[in-house]
Structure 1
Amino acid sequence: MEHPRKVATALTIAGSDSGGGAGIQADLRTFSFHRVHGTSALTALTAQNTLGVTRVDVMPPESVAAQIDAVASDIGIDAAKTGMLVNSAIIATVAERLRTLRITRLVVDPVMASRAGSRLIDDEAVAALRELLIPLATLVTPNRHEAQLLAGLELHTLDDMREAARRIHRLGPQAVLVKGGAMPGSLCGTDVWFDGEHLETLHLASVETRNTHGTGCTLSAAIAANLALGLGLLEATRQAKQYVTRALQHPLALGRGNGPIGHFFPLLDS
């Protein structure tokens, strides 16, 4: 006799990574290892591996909206996260659907610049993120270079990170997590959290590995999964940082370039 189990659900709105290390693939894997049912709305198909991206095919905004609506109308969305949204038209569509559906647990990973600092979207898309999507966010999780773009401030010190968090919070999100993975020296691995009242410095030991592909996607997905499970926002973030750190400690020996972190480390032999 069937005994279906009720489970929490989380939606990722992001691009597909054919190499499986980041994007939709990393998000769904992260949801699964948090015992959360993952659903998805693809914004783009990428041809990529550990060496880089060779092709990007962008989905029509109407297709992205239809995917979101299909999930919401039947399965439901306990929490959602966004990743690579590609352009201003998709960003505007996603923001409109999330606002209409009244998604109250939303993690925005503002994919605008790589960890190395390369710009990934144009100025029009950055403006759309700032004006349309970030104000809807429960939490926005910029890396160093994305925080610089959003705050209009160069980040070199912990005080710079704190000021950037304050400036980004003025854009309207409930809370901001400025990630320090690309910060210099001892600040690497230090994140700054700000919710308008409380300013927290979150630090875990930095992990030395070149296999960091998918770190940002995984962190935002883990936070969304924890929110879907009912954790408070700061605790959801703390737990997600621990998950990412453990995954970084178990990188996968794949390809000839920047390999992925080990999302399924709980299943690996010690």
Structure 2
Amino acid sequence: MANEFPQVLTIAGVDSDGSAGAQADLHSFFMRGTYGTLVLTAAVAGNSYGIHDSMVMPGAFIDHQFDDLAADLHIRAAKTGMLADSAIINTVVKNLKKYDFGPLVLDPVISTKHGNMLLETEAFETLKSELIPLAFVITPNFYEAEHLTGLKLDDDATIKQAAHMIHDMGAQNVMIKGRHDSDDQKVVRDYILLADGKEFWLEGPYFPTTRKNGTGDSLSAVITSELAKGQDIESAIRIAKAFVDKAIENEIPVGHKFGPINHWANDLQKPEY
């Protein structure tokens, strides 16, 4: 029968070197046994040395992509990536309210893992007020959680406080990804607050490598795939954490400087339909 195959959506930009953005999402979808679709929001020219140019998609074109997917496919879960500016965020919000694409995994591309801002102030405020309330789960990195809450996450207590604050913004489930920017550290600790009040830490090894592009994209994409296949949110998060850790640990020799993670280090999941 049509549309029995599990289908998922990424609403994101594309990177020309394929290391992050929609390409990382699509790699992850495939490896977890789901069929990936894309609403393109932006295009980035770059390589392992850095990003050198970018272009955003017109709102009408984004609308048409949503319309065409809704008219033909059965998308069971969706995620966001790079949304670039306030106009794009508002366009995406409008379409997510118009169409039921299942639970939304919000990867809030606000800042880099080193704390550099990627969104202008207006877009940041729009994301907070309009998009976060639609999120079934949100996966900010350490610095994004600081930007969202205004807190300095110096200890476990403030990380927990930040998660509760983000939950109060409207996100049902919250995963604050641990800081991982020092080669002196041995572990990375992520904090999870679930909608039912359960909270816990996930700990994994720190890998001293520059091949980490697409880590956050891939984590949120695996969560999206698992939700589409019927996993509960805790199981989806645990599977995603293990997937990304393995992809980082087993480096792939692509590019010269900041390379991609190795999705193919994981076992390919055959889809059930």
Q: With structure 1 as the length reference, what TM-score do the two structures score?
A: 0.94
In structure 1, what is the Cα distance between the partners aligned to 2:229 and 2:185? 33
State the distance in 2 between where 1:182 and 1:143 align.
9
| Correspondence for 2:110 among 94, 112, 126 | 112
CA contact (8 A) 2:213 2:259 kept: yes
The residue that corresponds to 1:165 in the other structure is: 163
Counterpart in 2 of 1:174?
Answer: 172
Question: Which whole-Å deviations, capped at 9, do the CAs of 1:59-89 have from their partners, x for residues lacking one?
Answer: 0122112112211220121000000000001
**Cα distance in 2 for residues equivalent to 1:42 and 1:24:** 8
Deviates more, 1:231-240 or 1:194-203: 194-203
Residue 219 of structure 1 corresponds to which residue in structure 2?
Answer: 219
The verdict on how the C-alpha distance between 1:117 and 1:50 changes in structure 2, with shifts beyond 3 A counting, is: same
Is the contact made by 2:243 and 2:266 (CA closer than 8 Å) also made in structure 1? Answer: no
Is the aligned partner of 1:48 residue 2:46? Answer: yes
Deviation string for 1:91-150 (max 9, x for gaps)? 011011111213331100000100011111101001111011110000000001110111
Residue in 2 that maps onto 1:210: 210
Higher relative contact order (CA 8 A, sep 6+): 2
Q: Pairwise mapping of residues 9-158 of structure 1 onto structure 2 (< 5 A)?
A: 9-158=7-156
**Matched residues in 1 for 2:172 and 2:33: separation?**
26
Distance 1:203 1:267 in 2: 21
**Residue 204 of structure 1 aligns to a residue in which SS?**
strand
1:141-198 per-position Cα deviation (integer Å, ceiling 9, x unaligned): 0001110111110112222211110111110011110000437665852111112411
User: Within 2, Cα distance between the matches of 1:46 and 1:4?
Assistant: 34
Establish whether residue 191 from structure 1 lines up as the match of residue 193 from structure 2.
no
Moved more, 252-261 or 13-22: 252-261
Q: Partners in 1 of 2:218 and 2:236 — Cα distance?
A: 13
**How many residues align structurally?**
266
- Structure 2 unaligned spans of 5+: 269-273
Measure, in 2, the Cα distance between the counterparts of 1:132 and 1:188.
34
Cα separation, 2, equivalents of 1:103 and 1:265: 29
SS at match of 1:146: helix
Q: Quick check: 1:180–1:187 contact (8 Å CA) kept in 2?
A: no
Contact 1:143 1:182 in 2 (8 A): no
Q: State the distance in 2 between where 1:267 and 1:144 align.
A: 29
| Residue in 1 that maps onto 2:241 | 241
Deviation by residue 1:181-232 (Cα, 9 ceiling, x = unmatched): 4376658521111124111111122222221010000000010011011100
Decide whether the 8 Å contact of 2:186 with 2:205 is kept in 1: no
Q: CA RMSD in A?
A: 1.8
For structure 1, list consecutive stretches of 5 or more residues without a partner in the other structure. Answer: none
